[in-house]
A and B are shown apart, each in its own frame.
Chain A
Amino acid sequence: MKKLSGIIIKLAPLLIILNIVITCFFAYQLPKVKINNEVDKFIPDTNPMKITNDYLKENYGSSNAMFLVIEAIEGTIFKKSILNKIAELTEELEILDNVEEITSLSNVDNIVGVEDGMEVDPIFDPDEDIDDDVLLNVKTALDSWDFYKGNMINEKYNATAIIIEFPKLADINEKAALHTDITKLMNRSPFPEANLYLAGRPSVEVEMGNYMHKDLKTTVPFVLVIMIIVLFLSFRSFSGVILPMLCIIIATINSIGLMGYLGLEMSLLGIVIPVTLIAVGSAYSIHVVRYYLIALKTGISPKEAVEETYINVGLSVILTGVTTMCGFGSLSTSPVNPIREFGIFVAVGTGVALIVSMTFIPSLLLFFVKSDRPEKDNPTKIKDRLSVIESVLFNITRKVMNNHRKVITFGVILVILSIISSTRLVSYNDMIEDFPKDSKIRIASTWINNNFTGTTDISILLTGKNDSIKEPEVLRQIEGLQNFVEEKYPFVTKSVSIADFIKRMNVAMNANNPAFDKIPSSNELIAQYLLLYSTSGDPDDFDPYVDYDYKEARILFMSTRSRSTENLKVLNGIKEYTDKHFGPNFKVQISGNATITNALAALIMKGQVTSIIASMIVVFLLMTFIYRSIFGGILSVLPLSLAILINFAIMPIAGIPLDVSTSIVGSVAVGVGIDYAIHYINNARLNAGNHTTIDELYLHTSTTSGTSIFYNALAVTVGFLVLLFSNFVPLAKLGALVGLTMVTSALGSLIFIPAILKIYKPGFIKLKAP
């Protein structure tokens, strides 16, 4: 450490310049970072669900349309003004960029069977004058086919949807541009007779990005300010506050800048990177600056002070830095892309914070903080204030030491209760719940889910031989599957398949006789209906439901539930049915939003377990090696294990699911919790030689190292609790859980470590011979 400090002192000017240059380079990369919250992107390309989903998207188009809903304030939508508005919006939407197709009452092809044939016309002609007759015809047309119910009109007839589809492989930027354009169109002129809603998965994904942007600008800086205030109140030293903050900012710029440089996209977890770096990255420079200032007070030169700092805290800082990197680095094993990227870039940021704390910060101190400024406050007052906390910690520790068996018993009970509670932990993702209750997108989505077919799709891809989809038997099985699902799961309100179109043609070609609302039994007739339908429309009219060779059919179900757990039941039901009814000649694949979010939930759960276990093992091995004691390793991971368990126990009680954002709390606990334990144990080890009894040693450790831990935990907890004010629910959840975890890991170190050490006395902590 002494050698290292010598190098730092020699190279100080160079280090300052180098840090500034590198940081400037990555700051320049920051604007390249793009936000992308497409759930599809969260899942690895090799996942079978993802493969099916991508295949469907490429060949059948995305089921993820946007919905612009027009809800009449009074009565039904059968009003001249509203129909005119539909026609006007349809025309305006059609000419927007990135629009593939607009379907509304004013342009959808309605097939009506008449005595001598059939008529294909829109439900109403926007150019015609709308009178009562027209209004009546619109209603009759909508009643004539179940297909419209829930798709274009709701049960109460007081709302209609315009379906906005974009090109098959549109990226998030195109969707975002379209979302913005449509929002502008909706707000351009007031329309007092109806409410307009815009929702659908693409809008949700785009809005999520918007919320993140807003939060990056408001909440994150707010967290920094709060932490600065807390740190300042704690340390009453200007440089003791500014330099750690500078360190965090540099770490954030470098790690996020690196994302930009590598051309990576940022998910909703990306926004958490700076916040997490605040939590884990501030400690290193705090320790360095504090020690330097203390050393300066003894009257030595800045150079000597840097040397002293290195010798005393250098190892602890490097050790805590490396273990934290391990904690987050373990997330790189996660199969979920945003979680993996989060882990890697927080690990990088932590590394940067560590290096900056050990090079840039000491160099700055050397040049700019040559003598400790006399404190303005009355020194005795500070002393009093400090002693309050010290005495509290002192008293707590004394009680712990006197009742250590009770403490350990309490700990064991806590662990058991936590394990019981944590078995109720569920993993699901509900993107709509990520928005505040009063947000437009959440209101719109909930409203659409309640009134229309829902915005979450389940797609079944049925693959047979060429032309097998045209067989009556197969079409009847498809119809059977649709009926089965709709009956058994009432929240699946809609299903569409090629069978629906065949039945529709059969009715229309038989003078609208409802007795023909069934699949005809002649192969040729089905083929001819399909030809007729396809010749009366665009070549891609059937694209969403059947392929060109009639080898594959896609059956689309729409669920009004956005939670993955509920849709899982449907998926299992579908699987059961298809296993029973479709023979070995058919391959059945299930995909869609619902399956993607399910796959995501499963991957998160799996990734969570492996990454936490992996990081604990790495940290355990490292600490075992450092202390040359297995017990030392176990002791180090004990407080953080407790913190993680409590976190998982509280989550089901508070009704918080394990999702993309909350799944990182475990790693924050590992990264931060281990630091507290290391500081505590290291401090006890270094000071053991000065004390003769165990009680004396830990009373001392709790009042010195314990105070540092207390302040660190306080600053970070307060900082994270600020996130509770965030408009963005994932961030608020994260704030609460990380805040809790900081408290539990700090308490774990301060209470359980001394209690255990009173019973078991390891070799690496050697007391002074009495």
Chain B
Amino acid sequence: MKTAALTQPILIVTALVTLALFALFSGLDPVLLAVSIIIAAQPLLLAALGEMVVEKSGVLNLGVEGMMIIGAICGFAAAVETGSPALGFLAGATGGAALALIFGLLTQYLLSNQVATGLALTLFGLGLAALIGQSYAGIKPPPFPKLDLPGLSDIPVIGPLFFSHDAMVYIALALVIGVWLFLGRSRPGLILRAVGENHDAAHSLGYNVILIRLAAIAFGGALAGLGGAYLSLVRVPQWNEGMTAGAGWIALAIVVFGAWRPWRVMLGAYLFGGVTILQLNLQAANLTPLWLLAFGFFLFAIWRTLTSRRPLELLGLWLATVLTAAIAAKYPISIQSQYLSMTPYLVTIIVLVVMSADRLAANLNAPASLGRVFHKTG
């Protein structure tokens, strides 16, 4: 079973390496590409990490998109008004948490349905953000400085890859480590997981289920808000209505993809960030549908090589890979950019389908009380 556990990481790494190689051949700089992937991954990472904690406490908050965009506009507005990006991030986190607490109040005290409330929260957040943001369109926010360590940041390749990001990249990494330690090692983390696992049992042991869940919801909202603020202050950086463009939904998918484990959530965020950036760059390069088909065959062939023992099937797959690649090289038919823009969302769907197909692996770590209403009786 060892190969089975390694299959997914190997596939992901191969996919990324192949795409990077392709980019290199198309005349793109892999280091710049990696840096932009890291930046693209931060909003997803922050939002997904927060949502993971919320879901670990047994609450399904589908309002990530709404909390992100509220974070984006609150952060943007605060940064523009005060001139301080740091205060902007603080405001983004506060805004996200405030919106999340509305969700918490509705679902935990008024016992409303979590799915419906979460969806409503997204709609509410999008509308409210558009309202607040009316006068902020087209303004440039104050720049968020990048880390500049003399010596370290100047090393070629390694310097730009590891030592010259903005502070939020390191804060996000610290948060991943923090959440990992909190959930796995600390007593409050244990209690949080217990609440998500079986809220009735946690209640009968005397834990305050509602309070613990509210705290988790607020934390998740704050992180989603941070992610949104990162979008509007660093990634874009500008305020546009509806600028999260589904990032919150991708963050929800990343939580499932990451099987509620912090490090896998981080991997997922980088994977999805990678897809977003690569598709932008591949729009510029001459990628044809046949290349994509060849790429698909290639990944499939690798997957079967890792899991299957039938030589004939493997031979067929590899032949198909080589053949399509050869044809693709001979007949360059271009692909419309709209199709490439779809890829992050397509990948989201594919990942969710594949993960749900592998039911055991996904279910074993899923919080058992996820999405269930806790009604305090007796």
* Genuine A/B complex: no
Tell me the A residues contacting B by CB distance below 8 Å: none
B interface residues, Cβ below 8 angstroms from A: none
